[in-house]
Chains A and B, each alone.
Chain A
């Protein structure tokens, strides 16, 4: 089984019958991941089950955005699809929004958040 096949299988299974200890409103793409993905808009104040633990959301997590699965330290790598997607720039609490304010690329730092925030960050391909 190739790597991509492995993720596809995981996406399928978690989407269809997410394990009992994960809320159905989030997807864990790989067991190695320290983030999961919201599959619907999650309002602030909602309680989400992550690895069997109830976590209170201190801020809203929009559809397709990531939330921390466990406590993450500054400098720690973030994993999604079982692959590193960047490094945490500050400590992140479980259930907190993982986004441009606390995660940066390990590849092309030059296109960081400044460009994105001004809407001049490049293309949406």
Chain B
């Protein structure tokens, strides 16, 4: 494994130039700047809203100073509420090349696109000379998510990812799982695995918050495709999803933008605190992926049964396909065939090892299936969070 060393000591497994729009009104211009170079690690992220939001600013700061990112171009319309100078200062402080283009000052669409492309090309030449350095497993942060789940997800891909997580944690990596709204019914199991009783109590509270949140919204995280694939209830889906966490002790509870302080297994709580505001906290899988990446994840392990095709901006996504029929239909989109377990062509341990090898490969520069296909999905929405409770990171309290 190798990475690009950043000023904060973290290492990135990619050297992405990020083009970030700061309101939907700047999205087209930012897309036109990044589009011609999307095959060359120029990625597009952004925030659509015009009203300021502390969570969105924090996530954008984390993404723009993410170890996988080497340089940042901010694209502003000019009158939006986003704190563009605060974001720029955060990137500058990290030592990365950064520029801000304000469409209203630069003379409109065409001139801003031309200026943006010129800047990106100049920076590409500059980054082309970057030399990666060796990187250890204890410097790696890996997240996991499931999307397009069916009855096979909890039998093959999810427990295989759990095995890979156990191997990664044993070698010192930080591993993040989520989503509390999809772990309703597993809270007592999780609390029993927590490093301290205080952390266990925080985990139970975070799941109770999720249950309350979804109840008031009137829907659990459950789609028609889940039922066609054999799942019936949220708690059934939860037990299958929970298997992704493996068997390690749970070292802490994080919220979006919190970096894991050291290796170990962490639960990410991505549901807004306080009263239900802003609607669904995870309108799609990419909102969850963006939250994981905002916590420093270099790589995402994505379990799918029905067959999701998404990737992500900033961090590569490794697709672990749970269902052997789906794999045969969509093999080009998949990195690992976990459904072979159901057909007697492999064991959970073997597939877990294969997922682990894919992590090492991707962290050594190998492109994942979604990267090869050009996937760079990204969604950032409104949320609001309070600071972590004192019991959430016992490793820090004990340090």
Residues of A within 8 A of B (CB): 1-5, 7-8, 11-12, 15-16, 24, 27, 29, 37-40, 62-66, 80-81, 83-86, 98-100, 103-108, 110-111, 115-117, 119-125
Contacts and interface: CB of A to CB of B under 8 A. Distances in A.
B80 to A, nearest CB: 29
Contacts of B179: 125
6 closest residue pairs by CB, A with B: A64-B151, A124-B223, A64-B230, A85-B236, A5-B247, A65-B230
Contacts, number: 177
A81 B222 contact: no
B155 A37 contact: yes
Contacts of B357: none
Nearest to A116: B227
Interface size of B as a range: 35 or more
Interface in B305-356: 305-306, 323, 325, 341-344, 347-349
Contacts of B162: 4, 8
Interface in B175-227: 179, 182, 184-185, 189, 192-193, 211, 214-215, 218-227
B232 interface: yes
A122 B155 contact: no
Interface in B141-162: 145-152, 154-155, 159, 162
Contacts of B220: 105, 107-108, 111, 122
Contact of B163 (A2, A8, A40): A8
B247 A98 contact: no
A104 B222 CA distance: 13
Contact of A12 (B235, B240, B349): B349
Contacts of B221: 122-123, 125
Contacts of A115: 219
A121 B224 contact: yes
Contact of A4 (B155, B182, B189): B189
A39 B155 contact: yes
B222 A122 contact: yes
Contact of B155 (A3, A11, A121): A11
Nearest to A119: B224
Contact of A11 (B159, B247, B283, B288): B159
Given A64-B152, A121-B219, A123-B282, A39 B342 contact: yes
A100 to B, nearest CB: 6
Contacts of A40: 342-343
A116 B223 CA distance: 7
B155 A27 contact: yes
Nearest to A98: B232
B47 interface: no
Pick the most buried of A39, A104, A124: most chain B CB atoms within 10 A of its CB: A124
B284 interface: yes
B239 interface: yes
Contacts of A103: 232-233
Contacts of B152: 63-64
A115 B233 CA distance: 12
A58 to B, nearest CB: 18
Interface in B32-49: none
A63 B239 contact: no
B132 interface: no
A4 B145 CA distance: 17
Contacts of B342: 15, 39-40, 63
Contact of A15 (B151, B193, B215, B341): B341
Given A8-B348, A63-B151, A63-B230, A121 B222 contact: yes
A37 B156 CA distance: 12
B325 A2 contact: no
Contacts of B242: 4
B243 interface: yes
Contact of B235 (A8, A83, A100, A123): A83
